[in-house]
Amino acid sequence: MASSRIIAPEEPVLAVGETNIISVSFADVLNEGELLTGTPAIVEITTSDLTVSNNQINTTTLTMGEHIIAIGKAVQFKLIGQVVVNSPYTMKITVLTDSTPPQTKVRGITFPVEDIT
């Protein structure tokens, strides 16, 4: 089982048929002044149901729950294709930082999917 430091605290609940923008904060694993850089790699671990696109680092400040996440400290991506029979889904997110030398940061996010019926 993965450490709670590796699995992101965000756990969105998605509905079958939705298109969602998912945001995952890396703020708590970055050094002071360090930012994410490049294009994040996002891989679905549990199935091949999902289509992931628009992988990027946040370019605006985000409010996530009670936390405000500064520019350059979160990964965002568009997600479609979830089906309830394969819930929950787990995604692996890998991204570089602008430190010298650069660091590679990895987080996972797990989320359930629900259906109206």
Residue 112's identity, in one-letter code, is: P
- Phi then psi dihedrals of residue 90, to 5 deg: -130, 135
Whose structure tokens read 């660091």? Answer: 103
Domain boundaries, the chain: 14-110
The encoded tokens of residue 108 equal: 């996972």
pLDDT tens per residue across span 100-116: 999 999 999 888 888 88
Residues 6+ apart with CB under 8 A from 92: 42, 43, 45, 106, 107, 108
State the Cα–Cα distance between residues 31 and 106, nearest whole angstrom: 15
CATH number (1.10.10, 3.30.1490, 2.60.120, 2.60.40) of 14-110 reads 2.60.40
Please answer whether residues 110 and 7 qualify as being in contact, where contact means their C-beta atoms are separated by less than 8 angstroms.
yes
What is the value of pTM for the model shown? 0.88
Instruction: Note the pLDDT tens digit of each residue in 18-71.
Output: 999 999 999 999 999 999 999 999 999 988 899 999 999 999 999 988 889 999
